[in-house]
Every structure is written in structure tokens, then in C-alpha cells.
Chain A
């Protein structure tokens, strides 16, 4: 089946550690996105990539890094510089001008 997969579903991190969230899509979409969602809030854009080997900062990029070495993959690293990383992280991909398809999300908790 075509779609977007994110792993892991739940992730626990100690303070000071970097962690990487996986996002893979087999939809052959050029554009991919990472959003952050805090409880009771809408989604905010962290990073996006419109093409392989290129990515742009979104509204809340500080403390995060990404790479886009393959069209199918857009991993997000939450670094120790991110002051409040506990949140729900959603990856999305898009082709054309309309619908963004979302993955199932990763819930990150800092212990």
C-alpha cells in the first residue's frame, strides 16, 4: 500500500540527547514536511523539503535538523538545543497543489 510511515510511534529521550525521527513515503512525492503539535494546539511547521538535497526552515526550526538524501526519506533530528521537545511530531508529503498526506505521527517525551 502507498503511504507514509513514521517510526517509532513512541519515543523517550533523556535531557541532553539527540534523537532522530524517521519518515518514509512511497507515494513518489517531491515535497515533504515536518510539523510539531503541542496539546490542544494546531500544527506548526518545523522544516520542509521540495526536492532531494534541498530543505528550508519552517516557523520553529530552532533545535531541529533534517536531511533529504533520498526522495523517499526525510528524517528529523531533535537536538539537545531544543528546549522543550516533548510533543507530537507529524510528517507529511505532497505532490501538486493540493492535499498533504500525513503519517501516523511520533510522540516524543523527554524524561
Chain B
């Protein structure tokens, strides 16, 4: 069975500093994708970044980067130069790929609430 674990219920970071949000996963699928989503207080889920299990390099999207350590089964999100607008819930998610896709079903972690201090 697939499982995502986010061990930090809440995090604080000073504006303009970098912050790392932890995510560990468990799966028996040989091919999978890892996702990070941001959920502001309004509720919508905003896609941030994607990492495939066979990707050689860590994914980056602007101020977001994914620190993928396959042997440790971790996929931490790093946000550089935090901004006040980064305050939100952040969810790590996983899905099998190809024949392991299971219809595209995403498995989500519990989330981490990030608060950026001015």
C-alpha cells in the first residue's frame, strides 16, 4: 500500500529565509510520481512541483525545489526566499505511474501548515 507521511503539522519561517517541508513516502511500485500542492485558506489546491521516480535531477520550479532522495524515500519541498503569500497548507502526494497508475489516484499526506513571519 502507498503511504505519505508529513511529520510537521506546523512550521514558522521568517520572511526572505528558506524553509524545508518534510515528506517521506512508502510504495512498492517501481515507477511513481511525487507532487507538492499548496492550499491557501480559500481552499483551492495549487500544483507546485512534480518529481518522477526515474528523474535523475531534482525538480525545480522558480522558488520551489524538490529534494528527492530515493534511497531514503523522501521528497522534501524547499521554498527559497519565503514571502508572506507563501503562508498556507502544503500537501505532499504520490501516484503510481504507467501500469501502476490505478486510474491516476493521488495519495495525500496530512499536510504542513506554513506561517511566514514579517
Task: Identify the A interface with B (CB < 8 A).
Answer: 31, 33, 35, 40-45, 48, 50, 56, 58, 88, 90, 92, 94, 97-105, 107
Closest beta carbon of chain B to A38's beta carbon, Å: 11
A47 and B4 CA atoms in complex are apart in Å by: 20
> Does any Cβ of A come within 8 Å of B64's Cβ?
no
Q: What is the interface of chain B, defined by CB distance below 8 A to chain A? A: 4, 33, 35, 37, 42-47, 50, 91, 93, 97-98, 101, 103-106, 108-111
Q: How far is the CB of B118 from chain A (nearest CB, A)?
A: 25
Q: What are the residues of chain B within 8 A of A100 when measuring CB–CB?
A: 35, 47, 104, 106
Report 19 cross-chain contacts, Cβ distance below 8 Å, ordered by A residue: A31-B104, A33-B104, A33-B106, A41-B110, A42-B108, A42-B110, A43-B45, A43-B93, A43-B108, A45-B105, A45-B106, A50-B104, A56-B103, A97-B98, A99-B50, A100-B47, A100-B106, A104-B43, A105-B43
Other 19 A-B pairs with CB < 8 A, given A42-B108, A99-B35:
A31-B104, A33-B104, A35-B106, A40-B110, A42-B109, A42-B110, A43-B45, A43-B91, A48-B104, A50-B103, A58-B105, A97-B33, A98-B50, A99-B47, A99-B50, A100-B104, A103-B44, A104-B42, A105-B44
Residues of B within 8 A of A50 (CB): 103-104
Q: Which residue of A lies closest to B98 (CB)?
A: A97
For A48, give its contact among B37, B97, B98, B105 (CB under 8 Å): B105
What residues of chain A lie closer than 8 Å to B43, measured between beta carbons?
88, 90, 104-105, 107
